[in-house]
Amino acid sequence: MGVLGSKGFYSLIAIAFTLVSFFQNIGYGQDFSKTRSARFGVKFKAPKEFRMFNNDDEPFREYFFYTTKPDDRRRNILPDFYLVNKDSSILILAETYGYSPMEPDIFNRYWIDPNRLAFNHALGSSDTTDRSIEYYSAGRRRYSRADWIAEFTRDLGSRNTFGDYLYNRCLVINKHDQVFLQVTYLFKESARDKVDKVLHTTRRMFRFEDRPAAAPASIARNLEKHYVEVDADILEDSLVHRWNEGKIYDNQYHFWGEDLAFERDGMVISVKFPTNDKWPYMNHIYQERMDTASNRVRWDVANKDHHRFLALARFTPYKCTVSETSELNADEAYIFDFSHDRDDLYRGTYQDCKVIVFHKRNVGSVIVKYYYRSRDGEKVDRLMESTWGKIRFRGRAFFDGLEGRFYPY
Tell me how far apart the alpha carbons of residues 250 and 135 are, in angstroms, rounded to a whole number. 10
Q: Is the pLDDT of residue 377 over 50?
A: yes
Q: What share of the chain has pLDDT > 90, as a percent?
A: 76
Q: Which of 60-74, 273-287, 305-319 has the lowest mean pLDDT?
A: 273-287
Per-residue pLDDT, averaged over 117-136, amounts to 93
What phi and psi values does residue 217 have, to the nearest 5 degrees?
A: -60, 140
Tell me how far apart the alpha carbons of residues 110 and 227 are, in angstroms, rounded to a whole number. 13
Spatial contact of 158 and 166, defined as CB atoms under 8 Å apart: no
Q: Is the dihedral of CA 225, 230, 233, 234 positive or negative?
A: negative
| 250 confidence band (pLDDT: 50, 70, 90) | very high
pTM higher than the cut 0.85: yes
Q: Which of 73-87, 108-122, 211-225, 346-360 has the lowest mean pLDDT?
A: 108-122
pLDDT at 167: 97
pLDDT, averaged across the chain: 89
Domains by residue range for the chain, with CATH: 3-208 (no CATH), 219-402 (3.40.1000)
Q: What share of the chain has pLDDT > 70, as a percent?
A: 89
| 70 confidence band (pLDDT: 50, 70, 90) | confident
Going from the C-alpha of 112 to that of each of 38, 107, 219, 230, 260, the distances in angstroms are 27, 10, 18, 23, 18
Per-residue pLDDT, averaged over 331-351, amounts to 97
pLDDT at 232: 96
pLDDT at 107: 62
* Chain segment 174-218, per-residue pLDDT in tens: 999 999 999 999 999 999 999 999 999 999 999 999 999 888 889
pLDDT at 22: 40
Q: Is the pLDDT of residue 282 over 80?
A: no
pLDDT at 217: 86
Q: Is the pLDDT of residue 10 over 50?
A: no
Per-residue pLDDT, averaged over 381-393, amounts to 98
| 72 confidence band (pLDDT: 50, 70, 90) | confident
* Chain segment 315-329, per-residue pLDDT in tens: 999 999 999 999 999
**How many Cα atoms within 13 Å fall on the side-chain side of residue 398?**
12
Tell me how far apart the alpha carbons of residues 293 and 130 are, in angstroms, rounded to a whole number. 43
What phi and psi values does residue 79 have, to the nearest 5 degrees?
A: -70, 150
